[in-house]
Chains A and B, each alone.
Chain A
Amino acid sequence: MNSKLVVTPAPHVTKPFSTNMLMFAVVIALMPTAISGVINFGTNALWMIIISVGCSFVFDLLFRFMVTKKFNIVDLSSLVTGLMVALVLPAKAPLYFAVIGSFLAIVIFKGCFGGLGRNILNPTAAARVVLGLMFSSLTLSLFSGGGNMADVGSPLSYFMLGDYSSITLRSLFFGTAPGAIGTASIFCILIAGVLLMLFSITNFVMPVCALATFILTVWLGKGSIAIIPFLFSGGFLFVAFFMLTDPVSSPLTMWGKLFYGLIFGALAGLFRVYFVMGETGVFVALIICNILAPLLDKIFQPHPIGIRRA
């Protein structure tokens, strides 16, 4: 028995679940959406995804090298961000969109804030908003008519003009209508989002609250006929299920999460109904909520029990 005793502080066992596993689970959950995007929109979408993920990886590596002088990829979060950036871009966009988008997301909105866990804004949403501002006319025209459907406007542009008949719900549900690569197929988003919640990888409170207030605002603004078309178009569900639940930029506490979801749903609905903001609206709403998150945390500070009063 001449071996050594190892000493570590308690607890001597941790849950077999790590950050990387969380990130990997999100990547897996995004896969069906990405695949349906590629099937619906063709090879351009595939190239967008590959370039975006590759660039994110390289940018992350280079940025880390610049900061720490070491080549090491510690987490898979750049993979998730890269994939998300591709999925929120329009399918017909030129490929340099992916490069600029991943640069903005990884270097500007994540790295410069201090890396994973320190970014205040959701990098994907921030990059998407900045891209939209940079190429505003371009994005608008790109959204109209994806793939083989030339000269067809994006579903949301029809809906916002009050035309609910020219796009069928079936095409929205399976993603054959024009739109961003990943946000089009509601079917895949719903399945993956619900699975993520069931395995308690993402929190269910935020999407549920967001859905509730979004439906309410749309109903109040445009009547009950607009609810389903507005819900299924323009990437609202994608944002609600995958980006709103991003742990880094959302509040910590349960009540904070609840109000975060409520505010996001209301803002997204308002931007669509009253400000006619199109596809970018949800991302702006998300960024505003990101900024509110620390405040919500402060308001809904948990009260410890059994605390000694001085």
Chain B
Amino acid sequence: MDQRGVKTRKRNLIKKGSGLFELRPPEYFSVPLLAADGDMPVRAVNVGEKVCEGSLIAKPSGRYGSFVYSPCSGKVVGIVRKLNANGNECEHVVIERDLENEKELMSPLDALEQTPEQLLKRLYMSGMTDNFMPYEPAYKKYLLKCNIKTLIINCTEDDPYQSCDSAMIETLTSEVVEGARLLKKLCKADQIVFIFTLANMSAETSLRNHIKKLGDKTIKIKTYSNVYPLHNSRLIAYYETGKMVVRGARTAQIGVIVESVSNCLDFYNAVMKGIPCTQRAVSVTGKNTLRKANYFIKNGTPISHVLKLVGTKKEYDDNMLIYGGIMSGIAQETLDISVGLGASVIIFTDSGDYEKDNETPCINCGRCLRACPVRLNVKRLDDAITLRRFDMAKKLGVDACIDCGACSYVCPAKRFLAQRMSFAKDIVDGKVGKKPTSSNYILIEGEDLTRQGVEFETDTKKINETQSSALPEIDEMLKVLNEKTKQEEEEQARKNQEMQAKLAKKDAKKNDEGGKK
């Protein structure tokens, strides 16, 4: 398969082979109950309750919820409702850590117990979520009863700042491989394929050596060319099989399951040691951080705490906090968020480099078309969306867009292409206006001390400017859409009336004729 996308310059600010560190846990955790897209879990603890590390604090509700476990031992001191790092509003449980370090573990599964059913149950119980698109609970991929041929472990690290996957593979090679083999057992796949790019060769070599030692013939290694995007499971499945599943469908339908390195490691821990998923390896990097490295960060650690421990430079005025990669991450409005299980990169940088240029007219160069991994006619879509022709956008296939941002990256006219695409997709799906647009903070119960370190303000003026220049006014759009549907309805009604009138005339004529006869 020819890979499409853009070549990004790797910005490995983190020294290669510097390993993985544990981040010292904070005094207060603020654990988001919703780590990925899915149904909101139901809280299982109340204020004042004592929790251990690994004890259950939320249970799934609805079809696709997930379990949430406490990252530390301590006491629940508050429950708040605010935005999580992915921009979804959900409840957060505030836990005050104590020094007792009690742990509550599940019982490990031994070799006899490792049947697919048991493993699936353990995966469900472990509370793992994916840290790649689409952000979903990890077990969701395995629910379809399909014939799985290949289990792909995505180690490509397509984001220029990301290096946590390599670090995990280099330091915890056997755990990762064992985890992958357990997952293979779970989905009964024929083979495991680890995919790398040319940019992380050292991790590939250490993995290759390990596999050679194991002598497992079903584990293969593939090297992709180093183009962005590679973080989307549907796209990886397409490169592997030549078939693309539609948005919302699962790659298991075409016999491929894509997993991340973190999931392998967490699954290994959950099965062999009984530890539920409460931490993730995250690259903390960016120009304004001091100790750039890959850290294991516990679920619910406030970002302000991370930045305090990592250290920030103070000489810049305008900072940016990007959660989840420079290419497709979310720039945060406040420091009042906590690291969730979907994290892989946290970038703290100054805005100097990334100040958005003004849009200039499109020069029709076709670079966006060549960059788009799903072969959309991005330029025509851009025209259609600026003219508010969402029907045309739909016809051109806007819902195939995977929100990668390659088109915006490559455009010489600096047009806000990817931003428009995702907006149009929301309009086509009828999702506009449902997501919260600013951070609402509601204290439900108890107190929240994680907000102490938050001294940053948000430059709302700038947000408004960028948003308004990037996208046409939402209200106006909705109005146009409504009008259009209204017009269509009216036209339909008019046509119906005409038809009826005609029919009535015919009937009358017939009756007349009949009467004459």
Interface of A with B (CB < 8 Å)?
1-15, 17-19, 21-22, 74-75, 115-118, 203, 247-254, 257, 301-309
User: Is the beta-carbon distance between B316 and A3 smaller than 8 angstroms?
Assistant: yes
Residues of A within 8 A of B361 (CB): 115-118
B467 touches A (CB below 8 Å): yes
Minimum Cβ distance to chain B for residue A80 (Å): 11
B459 touches A (CB below 8 Å): yes
User: Is the beta-carbon distance between A15 and B409 smaller than 8 angstroms?
Assistant: yes
Minimum Cβ distance to chain A for residue B238 (Å): 7
**Distance A21 CA – B413 CA, assembled complex (angstroms):** 10
User: Looking at chain B, what size class is its interface with the partner chain?
Assistant: 35 or more
B353 touches A (CB below 8 Å): yes
- Within 8 Å by CB of A11, from B408, B413, B459, lies B408
Residues of B within 8 A of A21 (CB): 412
- Within 8 Å by CB of B327, from A6, A10, A117, A247, lies A10
B310 touches A (CB below 8 Å): no
Minimum Cβ distance to chain A for residue B364 (Å): 5
Residues of A within 8 A of B247 (CB): 306, 308
User: Is the beta-carbon distance between A10 and B459 smaller than 8 angstroms?
Assistant: no
User: Is the beta-carbon distance between B414 and A14 smaller than 8 angstroms?
Assistant: yes
Give the residue name and chain of the A residue nearest to B453 (CB).
A1
**Distance A17 CA – B456 CA, assembled complex (angstroms):** 33
Q: Can you sample 23 A-B contacts with CB below 8 Å?
A: A1-B312, A2-B457, A4-B317, A4-B456, A7-B458, A7-B466, A8-B355, A9-B470, A10-B418, A12-B327, A13-B326, A18-B414, A19-B363, A22-B365, A117-B363, A247-B364, A252-B364, A253-B366, A302-B376, A302-B377, A304-B377, A304-B396, A306-B238
User: Is the beta-carbon distance between A5 and B333 smaller than 8 angstroms?
Assistant: yes
Residues of B within 8 A of A203 (CB): 366
- Within 8 Å by CB of B459, from A4, A302, A309, lies A4
Minimum Cβ distance to chain B for residue A76 (Å): 11
User: Is the beta-carbon distance between B400 and A305 smaller than 8 angstroms?
Assistant: yes
Residues of B within 8 A of A19 (CB): 360, 363, 412-413
User: Is the beta-carbon distance between A307 and B399 smaller than 8 angstroms?
Assistant: yes
Residues of B within 8 A of A18 (CB): 357, 360, 412-414
Mask: chain B, 458-472; 1 = CB below 8 Å from A; 0 = not: 110011001100100
User: Is the beta-carbon distance between A13 and B354 smaller than 8 angstroms?
Assistant: yes
User: Is the beta-carbon distance between B364 and A117 smaller than 8 angstroms?
Assistant: yes
**Distance A230 CA – B191 CA, assembled complex (angstroms):** 60
B321 touches A (CB below 8 Å): yes
**Distance A273 CA – B366 CA, assembled complex (angstroms):** 33
**Distance A247 CA – B379 CA, assembled complex (angstroms):** 13
Known: A1-B456, A4-B457, A15-B410. A308 touches B246 (CB 8 A): yes
Mask: chain B, 300-331; 1 = CB below 8 Å from A; 0 = not: 00000000000010101111111000111111
Give the residue name and chain of the A residue nearest to B318 (CB).
A6
Q: Knowing that A115-B361, A304-B400, A306-B247 touch, tell me 19 more A-B residue pairs with CB under 8 angstroms.
A: A1-B456, A2-B457, A3-B318, A3-B319, A4-B457, A6-B320, A6-B459, A6-B462, A11-B326, A11-B405, A13-B160, A14-B410, A22-B365, A252-B379, A253-B377, A254-B370, A306-B374, A307-B399, A308-B246
- Within 8 Å by CB of B245, from A12, A249, A250, A306, lies A306
**Distance A116 CA – B365 CA, assembled complex (angstroms):** 12
Residues of B within 8 A of A305 (CB): 238, 244, 374-375, 400
**Distance A249 CA – B363 CA, assembled complex (angstroms):** 9
Residues of A within 8 A of B312 (CB): 1
User: Is the beta-carbon distance between B320 and A248 smaller than 8 angstroms?
Assistant: no
Known: A116-B363, A250-B364. A302 touches B410 (CB 8 A): no
B255 touches A (CB below 8 Å): no
Give the residue name and chain of the A residue nearest to B160 (CB).
A13
**Distance A302 CA – B463 CA, assembled complex (angstroms):** 35
Residues of B within 8 A of A249 (CB): 364
Residues of B within 8 A of A307 (CB): 246, 397, 399-400
**Distance A205 CA – B388 CA, assembled complex (angstroms):** 33
**Distance A248 CA – B361 CA, assembled complex (angstroms):** 11
User: Is the beta-carbon distance between A10 and B412 smaller than 8 angstroms?
Assistant: no
**Distance A115 CA – B363 CA, assembled complex (angstroms):** 10
**Distance A270 CA – B320 CA, assembled complex (angstroms):** 59
- Within 8 Å by CB of A12, from B326, B333, B363, B376, lies B326
User: Is the beta-carbon distance between A17 and B412 smaller than 8 angstroms?
Assistant: yes
Give the residue name and chain of the B residue nearest to A257 (CB).
B366
**Distance A6 CA – B456 CA, assembled complex (angstroms):** 11
Give the residue name and chain of the A residue nearest to B234 (CB).
A306
B100 touches A (CB below 8 Å): no
**Distance A248 CA – B365 CA, assembled complex (angstroms):** 7
Residues of B within 8 A of A309 (CB): 246
User: Is the beta-carbon distance between A6 and B414 smaller than 8 angstroms?
Assistant: no
User: Is the beta-carbon distance between B354 and A8 smaller than 8 angstroms?
Assistant: yes
Give the residue name and chain of the A residue nearest to B361 (CB).
A117
User: Is the beta-carbon distance between B466 and A8 smaller than 8 angstroms?
Assistant: yes
Q: Which of B388-429 contact A (CB under 8 A)?
A: 396-397, 399-400, 402, 405, 408-414, 416, 418-419
Residues of A within 8 A of B330 (CB): 10
Residues of A within 8 A of B380 (CB): 252
**Distance A28 CA – B335 CA, assembled complex (angstroms):** 47
**Distance A15 CA – B320 CA, assembled complex (angstroms):** 19
**Distance A222 CA – B294 CA, assembled complex (angstroms):** 70
B332 touches A (CB below 8 Å): yes
User: Is the beta-carbon distance between A15 and B327 smaller than 8 angstroms?
Assistant: no
**Distance A303 CA – B374 CA, assembled complex (angstroms):** 9
- Find the residue from A3, A12, A253, A302 having the highest chain B CB count within 10 A: A12
User: Is the beta-carbon distance between A7 and B364 smaller than 8 angstroms?
Assistant: no
Give the residue name and chain of the B residue nearest to A9 (CB).
B419
Mask: chain B, 368-383; 1 = CB below 8 Å from A; 0 = not: 0110001111011000
User: Is the beta-carbon distance between A306 and B246 smaller than 8 angstroms?
Assistant: yes
User: Is the beta-carbon distance between A303 and B412 smaller than 8 angstroms?
Assistant: no
Residues of A within 8 A of B374 (CB): 304-306
User: Is the beta-carbon distance between B364 and A5 smaller than 8 angstroms?
Assistant: no
B351 touches A (CB below 8 Å): yes
- Find the residue from B362, B366, B462 having the highest chain A CB count within 10 A: B366
User: Is the beta-carbon distance between A12 and B332 smaller than 8 angstroms?
Assistant: no
Residues of B within 8 A of A13 (CB): 160, 326-327, 353-354, 409
Minimum Cβ distance to chain B for residue A252 (Å): 4
User: Is the beta-carbon distance between A5 and B246 smaller than 8 angstroms?
Assistant: no
Q: Please list the 5 inter-chain residue pairs (A to B) with the smallest Cβ-Cβ separation, ordered nearest first.
A: A306-B244, A11-B405, A117-B361, A304-B397, A247-B365
Give the residue name and chain of the B residue nearest to A252 (CB).
B366
Mask: chain B, 341-369; 1 = CB below 8 Å from A; 0 = not: 00000000001011111001111111001
Residues of A within 8 A of B354 (CB): 8, 12-13
Give the residue name and chain of the A residue nearest to B242 (CB).
A305
Known: A3-B319, A248-B363, A307-B246. A9 touches B416 (CB 8 A): yes
- Find the residue from A247, A250, A257 having the highest chain B CB count within 10 A: A247
User: Is the beta-carbon distance between A5 and B412 smaller than 8 angstroms?
Assistant: no
Give the residue name and chain of the B residue nearest to A18 (CB).
B412
B6 touches A (CB below 8 Å): yes
Give the residue name and chain of the B residue nearest to A305 (CB).
B244
Mask: chain B, 436-459; 1 = CB below 8 Å from A; 0 = not: 000000000000000000011111
- Find the residue from A6, A250, A302 having the highest chain B CB count within 10 A: A6
User: Is the beta-carbon distance between A248 and B364 smaller than 8 angstroms?
Assistant: yes
Known: A4-B318, A19-B360. A308 touches B377 (CB 8 A): no
- Within 8 Å by CB of B332, from A5, A254, A306, lies A5
